[in-house]
Amino acid sequence: MGLSAAFAPLVDLVFPPRCPLCGAAIASQTGLCPQCWSALAVPGEPACASCSRPFGDGIPDGAICAPCLAEPPRHDGIAAATLYNDASRKLVLSLKHGNRISLAPMMAGMMATKLPFLDEGWIIAPVPLHRWRIWRRGYKQ
């Protein structure tokens, strides 16, 4: 048992676990309440092979959506953990501008589940942050 697991009950007593989006009581310090989880729009299959925009039923795997056909993106594909809506916006802004770095492991796990199998041809590159923004925020999100 790690040190953080040993002190988790004490931390929960001093700082009761709350949902970072709505403030409702939750079981542990990491996660969201059921209502906020259901508010996140997680893209499923079938989806556009280029931008992960979800399709309706009956579309074959590997299909490309109309916006990507009209104006092909300059990348080989993306993996989206959630679609951008009010709940995901609030989650991202809480991490980036609200100093809620405790959300990073949960959000990283959500992103990791959406990554396709990576072979040696893939490169994952972080988006650089200007040094003044790093200085203001105190970390790279």
For the chain, domain boundaries? 43-80
pTM: 0.71
Q: What's the pLDDT at 119?
A: 67
Q: What's the pLDDT at 38?
A: 92
Of the given ranges (44-58, 78-92, 97-111, 115-129), which has the lowest mean pLDDT?
A: 115-129
Q: Residues 61-79: what's their mean pLDDT?
A: 85
Q: Residues 91-103: what's their mean pLDDT?
A: 84
- Asked whether the beta carbons of 103 and 90 are under 8 A apart, the reply is no
